[in-house]
Amino acid sequence: SLLQAEPPQLSQPPLPAEGLQPSQHLRDPPGLPHPIVPLSRPVPPPGAAWQWGSAAHSWGLLRCWVGKWGDRRVHQFEKMSPALPSHLVPPLQDIRNTVGNIPMEWYQDFPHIGYNLDGKKIYKPIRNKDELDMFLEKMENPDYWRTVQDKMTGADIKLTDEQVDLVHRLQRGQFGDVHFDPYEPAVDFFTHEVMIHPVTNRPADKRSFIPSLIEKEKVSKLVHAIKMGWIKPRKPKDDTPTYYDLWAHEDPNSILGRHKMHVPAPKMKLPGHEESYNPPPEYLLSEEEKLAWEQQEPAERKLNFVPQQFRCLRAVPAYSRFIHERFERCLDLYLCPRQRKMRVNVDPEDLIPKLPKPRDLQPFPTTQALVYRGHTSLVRCLSISPSGQWLVSGSDDCTVRFWEVCTARCMKTLPVGGVVKSVAWNPNPTICLVAICVEQSVLLVNPCLGDKLLYGATDQVLESYVPPEEERVQPVQWVTATPEEHSKGIRLVVQHSKAVKQVTWHGKGDYFASVVADNSNMQVLIHQTSKRWSQNPFRKSKGLVQCVLFHPIRPYFFVATQRYVRVYNLLKQELTKKLMSNCKWVSSMAIHPGGDNIICGSYDSKLAWFDLDLSTRPYQLLRHHKKALRSVAFHKHYPLFASGSDDGTVIVCHGMVYNDLLQNPLLVPVKVLKGHAITLDLGVLDVLFHPTQPWVFSSGADGTIRLYT
């Protein structure tokens, strides 16, 4: 019988279809003393918003539950809820539990289940029913389905018929009160219709039937204003409509934009023979062709249909691809490009500035003519005699060589015992003297080349020096060469405290300047050969000096630091100008023989041309070289300048300077001269122009000097 027994919950009517089973629920611990526990979440009745009066009535019961959850003042509460039926209150003894809203499992292992109002333990009822007893009770007790266990006291409570009915009503979502009608007709206090009787019976005010003084005043003001003409009557509205002639200003003969831009719709291909219902046999596909057509991708097919032959036009069936084709046609029209591409019709030739052609700017060096071989290491510096017959070169192989220009013959080799950083031939044609930078000293060498009278005279000038009476403090030491050195040509040695990196002569040939690789104010020194006297022109160091230059005509002195070129007036002893080079690191500098233009080469492969009259910024920045510039040079007579770079090329440019101050210099690159092999990432180290001919010399890291003519 146990096995046959159905679950009691299901067997018991009346149970809601989807609702919670009351016996189960009542056995679960919701923590409520009241038997009607499952209403943990009171659902507001429908229509509560507008029927608060009756809602208050039905809410009375619910509120008392909430109040029960919120605090435990049960007595008060019970008194407040007259709606509670009196039979729900335990009649004899109040065994209400005072433990509060705690999980009742905590009392699982105790014999009691809590404490009553008097502080006495409430003992659990003796329950020793086993499963069989429970089953028997379920089978035999007809009120089993309406028996619930009070969790707080552990006692079984049998629900009355009213309570069961209430549970059912609430489960169905109905109001607890049977007599409450949620759908009562509403009665308005006021009606929207106009009634014959007023709402109030109050007599009208006096002011409602005597004329208003304020209004009279306002009206008289308005009347006065109208009389005075301050207020004018409204203008009658002109109701003739206004139109704008959009096309009034249009030239009737002009082609309108939309017509100009007219793009005709793509035309459909006209049907051909293959589309005929009875095409000639050569248009019909053979079996293989048909197979091939089927295997092709639809996009790749030459025809998008298979030509078919019909006996007569009547036999032609409806065209199955009609919709498809119409759709594709629509796509064609829709995707057809409607915008004509506007191309800017500019001749690229027009964008190039008008420069004369290089061959109109002849003469300039074009081909390599001679190679001066002999140095075994990189040739750092070059200089040429004022007559243009001799060339001097200094190299890292610790020698200085003198060459005959026209035959590339090495006339003399002078070992100097150190890397030669710079050489400079005295520009005065009556003095035959070469200044050579070797480590910490500047050697003044008489090469004994050319006119005997000249170099004899030079020696005489040097020997005729008479030392002054009192010793003067000098930043350097002037030492006369030993006889051994004298036989080699060395006449004077100017010993500096640090390594010398550049030497340059003044145009008159008496003064020369040397640059010392130092960071102090002793970087630049100016020496006078005839008096053997040196001075330090600068009190302060303004940065690492790269190179210095004398102005060819005026008493100016140019000092190039890494970023700037400063121009000093030697007579007034002041800074005249400061040129911003716009380069990162100036490597070399050359001055136009006219003296108003300077070019600066920099290690960031730029060449800056300064016009001293124009601005302190470069007039032009030429970026022809691919690598760092090592040297720049101007020609003495021809409008040429050249730059040598680490990329192994010499670029010769035409740089015409006009006497007319209004005309800017004309700079045209005319020739790229190649020839030097790149050694140790170094290409051309120095460039130099011949003093009279349009020839350029370049010395390279490959140990050669090349002459381009």
The answer to whether residue 340 forms part of the interface with other proteins (CB under 8 A) is no
115/122 Cα distance (integer angstroms): 5
Nearer to other proteins, 385 or 631 (CB): 385
The answer to whether residue 709 forms part of the interface with other proteins (CB under 8 A) is yes
99/103 Cα distance (integer angstroms): 10
365/540 Cα distance (integer angstroms): 43
The answer to whether residue 133 forms part of the interface with other proteins (CB under 8 A) is no
The 3-state DSSP class for residue 508 equals: coil
Among the listed ranges 277-285, 408-416, 475-483, 588-596, the one in contact with other proteins (CB under 8 A) is 408-416
The 3-state DSSP class for residue 166 equals: helix
150/88 Cα distance (integer angstroms): 13
665/656 Cα distance (integer angstroms): 5
Nearer to other proteins, 191 or 487 (CB): 487
The answer to whether residue 428 forms part of the interface with other proteins (CB under 8 A) is no
Nearer to other proteins, 576 or 693 (CB): 693
Site for other proteins in 682-701 (CB under 8 A): 692-693
Among the listed ranges 98-106, 322-330, 364-372, 432-440, the one in contact with other proteins (CB under 8 A) is 364-372
For 164-187, give one letter per residue: b (16+ CB within 10 A) or e.
eebbeebbeeebbeeeeeeeeeee
Among the listed ranges 150-158, 275-283, 360-368, 433-441, the one in contact with other proteins (CB under 8 A) is 360-368
Instruction: Give the helix/strand (H/E) hosting 668.
Output: strand 666-674
State in angstroms the smallest separation of the CB of 595 from other proteins.
Answer: 24
Which listed residue (76, 220, 407, 495) binds other proteins by CB under 8 A?
407
State in angstroms the smallest separation of the CB of 381 from other proteins.
Answer: 25
For 270-314, give the DSSP string.
PP-GGGSSS--GGGS--HHHHHHHHHS-TTT-SSSS-----SSGG
CB 365 within 8 A of CB 696: yes
Among the listed ranges 31-39, 277-285, 404-412, 661-669, the one in contact with other proteins (CB under 8 A) is 404-412
CB 707 within 8 A of CB 694: no
Which listed residue (11, 362, 520, 530) binds other proteins by CB under 8 A?
362
The answer to whether residue 64 forms part of the interface with other proteins (CB under 8 A) is no
The answer to whether residue 486 forms part of the interface with other proteins (CB under 8 A) is no
Site for other proteins in 446-465 (CB under 8 A): 450-453
- Of the candidates 610, 598, 651, 603, the one whose C-alpha atom is nearest the C-alpha of residue 630 is 603
Hey, CA dihedral for 162, 164, 169, 170, is it positive or negative?
A: positive
Q: How buried is residue 537: exposed, middle or buried, by Cβ count under 10 Å (0-12/13-18/19+)?
A: middle
State in angstroms the smallest separation of the CB of 691 from other proteins.
Answer: 11
Nearer to other proteins, 164 or 448 (CB): 448
The answer to whether residue 370 forms part of the interface with other proteins (CB under 8 A) is yes
Site map (CB under 8 A) of other proteins, residues 534-573, x = contact: ----------------------------------------
Among the listed ranges 180-188, 282-290, 365-373, 600-608, the one in contact with other proteins (CB under 8 A) is 365-373
The answer to whether residue 66 forms part of the interface with other proteins (CB under 8 A) is no
Which listed residue (14, 363, 467, 475) binds other proteins by CB under 8 A?
363
The maximal CA–CA distance of the chain, rounded, in angstroms, is 156
The answer to whether residue 369 forms part of the interface with other proteins (CB under 8 A) is yes
Q: What's the token pair of residue 117?
A: 């109002």
State in angstroms the smallest separation of the CB of 557 from other proteins.
Answer: 32
The amino acid that residue 541 corresponds to is S
Q: What's the token pair of residue 108?
A: 């699982």
For 347-408, give the DSSP string.
-HHHHS-----GGGG-----SEEEEE---SS-EEEEEE-TTSSEEEEEETTSEEEEEETTTT
Nearer to other proteins, 261 or 369 (CB): 369
Among the listed ranges 15-23, 394-402, 407-415, 437-445, the one in contact with other proteins (CB under 8 A) is 407-415
Which listed residue (12, 98, 389, 582) binds other proteins by CB under 8 A?
389
Q: Can you give the binding site for other proteins, defined by CB under 8 A?
A: 362-363, 367, 369-370, 387, 389, 406-409, 411, 450-453, 692-693, 709
